[in-house]
Chains A and B, each alone.
Chain A
Amino acid sequence: EVQLVESGGGLVQPGRSMKLSCAASGFTFNNYDMAWVCQAPKKGLEWVATISYDGSSTYYRDSVKGRFTISRDNAKSTLYLQMDSLRSEDTATYYCARAWEGFDYWGQGVMVTVSS
């Protein structure tokens, strides 16, 4: 059974950093691109970033370029999202997703609140 379990969310002050993790199991992690998708309170879904199966390519939405870094450790079957210079508008639930034909598996999500 495919499982994606996010961790690392919580409350953080504006300008500070936070790192999210997503532990994957039930599939061959290094065969798939992986992604982060978010949903701000009372808003729709937004794609954040994607990383290729081998980590060689990364893609970001404009609003997070230069502030967020997606990475992966295939030996640990874990996906990461390093979020720096956080802003109040980054407040959202962040989902880890397997990127096949869109997103075919999703984690339960982790809440990130950016507030002083």
Chain B
Amino acid sequence: DIQLTQSPSSMSASLGDRVSLTCQSSQGIGNYLSWYQHKPGKPPKPMIYYATNLADGVPSRFSGSRSGSDYSLTISSLESEDTAIYYCLQYDEYPLTFGSGTKLEIK
């Protein structure tokens, strides 16, 4: 199975900070990686698909990038509503696998 390693597991940052979350794949998955924002009591919200594409309705301060087997979700200027757990998902092959998540808090 493909393992996705997310780092850090948790972090806190200040409003307006630039924040980058990382997801490393144990095998090649091309660009078949997506990112989700998950808040308590709500379903996960798609943020990025195919590694770099912004999902519908997602603010432009979010972006996705790839360098080899390392994938990043970047928030250019952190806002209070961005507090959540962020998960990456590989959908290149079955079984589909999620990373363990990064908990992002505001200082």
Contacts and interface: CB of A to CB of B under 8 A. Distances in A.
A and B part of one assembly = yes
Interface residues of B, number: 25
B94 to A, nearest CB: 5
Contacts of A95: 43-44
Interface string A97-108: 001011111111
Contact of B34 (A61, A102, A106): A102
A102 B91 contact: yes
**Most chain A beta-carbon neighbours within 10 Å: one of B45, B50, B89:** B89
A110 B36 CA distance: 19
A64 to B, nearest CB: 10
Given A45-B87, A104-B55, A59 B46 contact: no
Contact of A50 (B44, B45, B94): B94
Interface stretch (B11-19, B20-28, B66-74, B96-104): B96-104
Contacts of A50: 94, 96
Given A59-B95, A101-B91, A44 B49 contact: no
Contact of A47 (B45, B46, B53, B96): B96
Given A47-B96, A62-B95, 17 more contacts: A37-B44, A44-B85, A44-B98, A44-B99, A44-B101, A47-B95, A61-B95, A99-B91, A101-B49, A101-B53, A102-B36, A103-B34, A103-B44, A104-B55, A105-B46, A106-B45, A109-B43
Interface of B: 33-34, 36, 38, 42-46, 49-50, 53, 55, 85, 87, 89, 91, 94-101
